[in-house]
Amino acid sequence: MRYKNCVESYAVLSGNEAIAQAAYEAGVTVASGYPGTPSSEILARFAEYPDVYAEWAPNEKVALEVALGASFAGARALMTTKHVGLNVAADPLFTASYTGVRGGLVVINADDPSMHSSQNEQDNRHYARAAKLPMLEPCDAAEAKQFLKLAFHYSEQYDTPILLRTTTRVSHVKSPVLIEERQKAPIAPEIVRQSGKFVMLPANARRRRLDVETRMGNLRALAENCGMNRIEWHDRKVGFITAGVSYLHVREAFPEASVLKLGMVWPLPADLIRQFAVEVEKLIIVEELDPFLETEIKSLGIACLGKDLISPIGELNAASVRQAVLGKPPAEKIFAVGSLPPRPPALCPGCPHRGLFYVLSKMKCFVAGDIGCYTLGAAPPLSAMHTCVCMGAGIGIAHGFEKALGAEKTLGSVVAVIGDSTFFHSGITGLVDIAYNKGCSTVIILDNRTTGMTGHQEHPSTGHTLSGGKVVPIDIAAVCKAVGIDHVVTVDPNDIQATEDAIRRETNRPQPSVIIAKASCVLLPDMKRKADGNRYVSIIEKCAGCRACIRLGCPAVHWTASGSNAAASQGRSRRGFSRIVQSLCYGCGQCASLCKFGAITSKDTANE
């Protein structure tokens, strides 16, 4: 493939792009995952290489099982996930630790300290310890590539899946990476029956349990000697032990200090750590999130400082590390910006979700929400989402509300909202629960024909695969009916009246129901083309200043408050008027349908 940014054999790649390149070079032939920031770009990029198979699985559990199957068959296999996705895949992960592999198997896990695009900032290094698996942690794109290639080698050598942990500032930081040739994977896939290894019946699992301990012992020995863990000797007054991007912050903040840089963060090299600790006067552990290294190092009987200085919350940077260690604020003069109007992310102009949330807001429904672009429905002025926990949770939570309050109190007022991709991820099982246990909740599936928030990935109902192949889209309505929901209706959320009618009817029904609010994401290429020329304008003379359109929270509808003179000149006491910004308007028409004064009209009509 051609590199967008390539100078001789180096390219400026993000950590995610470097991981895709490394997987290609390592001879990986099967890769599966589910999109999730900050991991999403890995598979999209990997799918562009020749002679590879890459897929979006419906969720991370399936993705890991697919990669495990490919590994059992002998192929080198990759699974990608964000941190919370590994929770979903935890079940196969813990037992894959027992089965081990045939072809190398690496799970790329991307943590998101500071929660740039996540609902929590769990520290997934704990999974390595809990599942008894080795974990590697690169500090940048070049190391991510180097470590991933080593990981496949070690996976086969030590018969273990390997976790490679990135964080947002490794996944999304671009830096030069050396591009190399592809290698052939060492094993050719074939059917091999190894029941003692792959069938985890208790008798077999008990034998493998012993193998896991032996393996971890061997990996501890590897950790002592592998090049991924290294000491950089400088001044010995203070020594730092650190890993991942924190290493770069430490080097920036304290270029004169000695550093033990850990590339393999589980199992840890106890002897190397002891050797470093005795040579430095003061030992400081710098790590983002939990005191993972610190706890282990202290358990070796080594005195050190860590979370007493460094915050366990959010990302670090060089300044925060410097300030924590030195105990004084930075010397730089910093401009105090004061209070500015915030610019949070918002639903796009023309977003079909807006029409639905407008109705839910108007009806004062309690909305059990989910994870996706539509979580932005929680923001004012719509403020139409009242729970958001994890992928698929909204359906179970709505059902739980009904069982706690009784149907007579939830009918007409409690709904679940979930996206199309999220529905396939983990919404179907929640719906089965409602049908099976005689619930009467209404589930609204926001079907915008894509996985929006993470960058428009395909899913089982879009009609395309990751590599662009055409497939028969899985029919969401048919799935809902098949699990036992008799009342399934489809509405266009841009048609606000029809949407309101459907929600009133279905939420008051004493049986379970599904409303599919179906309209494409306006950022999809086909929809962008349709937008041209189909815009709306406001006729200021007709605008009564009622602000009905403003309540949509559309970035394209602007409000101009009237001065008293302006109001007087219109001959009535209106508060102001609305104006539609042509460069932002998509042409969905939601605002026009809310205007009782005929002041918003399509551009074509206005020109006639």
Partner 1 sequence: MNKTTSIVICGVGGQGILLASEIISDTCLRAGFMVRQSEVHGMAQRGGSVVSHVRFGQEVFSPLIDNGTADFIVSFELLEALRYLPFVREEGIVITNTQRILPVSVASGDASYPANILDTLLDHSAHLVAVDAHAEALALGDPRMINMVLIGALSRYVPFDAGLWIESIENRMPESIASLNIRAFNVGRSLPYEHMTKA
Give the footprint of partner 1 on this chain (CB under 8 A).
4-7, 10, 12, 37-38, 40-41, 116-117, 140, 168-169, 172-176, 245, 248-249, 251-253, 255, 315, 317-319, 330, 332-337, 340-348, 373, 376, 381, 453-455, 550, 553, 555, 557-561, 576, 583
CB closer to partner 1, 26 vs 141: 141
Contacts of 39 (CB under 8 A, 6+ apart): 16, 33, 80, 81, 82, 85, 108, 109, 110, 166, 171
Q: Report the C-alpha gap between 360 and 240 in whole angstroms.
A: 53
**H helices present in 254-329, as ranges:** 270-279, 292-299, 318-326
**Minimum CB distance to partner 1, residue 3 (Å):** 8
Burial class (CB in 10 A: 0-12, 13-18, 19+), 469: exposed
Transcribe 33-74 into DSSP letters. Answer: E---TTTTHHHHHHTTSTT-EEEE-SSHHHHHHHHHHHHHHT
CB closer to partner 1, 12 vs 432: 12
Contact 266, 133 (CB under 8 A): yes
**Minimum CB distance to partner 1, residue 11 (Å):** 8
φ, ψ of residue 580 to 5 degrees: the values are -105, 125
CB closer to partner 1, 323 vs 511: 323
CB closer to partner 1, 6 vs 471: 6
**Minimum CB distance to partner 1, residue 263 (Å):** 16
CB closer to partner 1, 418 vs 580: 580
CB closer to partner 1, 79 vs 556: 556
CB closer to partner 1, 99 vs 146: 146
* 69: Cα within 13 Å, side-chain hemisphere: 9
Residue 492: count of CB within 10 angstroms of its CB: 14
Q: Report the C-alpha gap between 248 and 251 in whole angstroms.
A: 5
CB closer to partner 1, 204 vs 560: 560
**Minimum CB distance to partner 1, residue 572 (Å):** 18
**Minimum CB distance to partner 1, residue 177 (Å):** 10
What six digits make up the tokens of 14? 């993000």
Residue 165 parent element (H or E)? strand 162-167
Q: Report the C-alpha gap between 421 and 455 in whole angstroms.
A: 12
Q: Report the C-alpha gap between 256 and 236 in whole angstroms.
A: 9
**Minimum CB distance to partner 1, residue 250 (Å):** 8
Name the packing angle between helices 202-225 and 270-279 (round to 10°).
30
CB closer to partner 1, 242 vs 507: 242
CB closer to partner 1, 82 vs 149: 82
**Minimum CB distance to partner 1, residue 488 (Å):** 29
**Minimum CB distance to partner 1, residue 571 (Å):** 22
Q: Report the C-alpha gap between 115 and 125 in whole angstroms.
A: 16
**Minimum CB distance to partner 1, residue 38 (Å):** 6
State the chain's maximal CA–CA distance in angstroms.
88
**Minimum CB distance to partner 1, residue 42 (Å):** 12
CB closer to partner 1, 195 vs 339: 339
Q: How far is CA 5 from CA 17, 47, 169, 171, 177, in A?
A: 12, 18, 20, 17, 11
**Minimum CB distance to partner 1, residue 339 (Å):** 9
Contact 375, 346 (CB under 8 A): no
CB closer to partner 1, 120 vs 508: 120
**Minimum CB distance to partner 1, residue 534 (Å):** 18
Query: Residue 268: which of 242, 305, 286, 246 has the closest Cα?
Result: 242
Contact 399, 368 (CB under 8 A): no
Residue 452: count of CB within 10 angstroms of its CB: 25
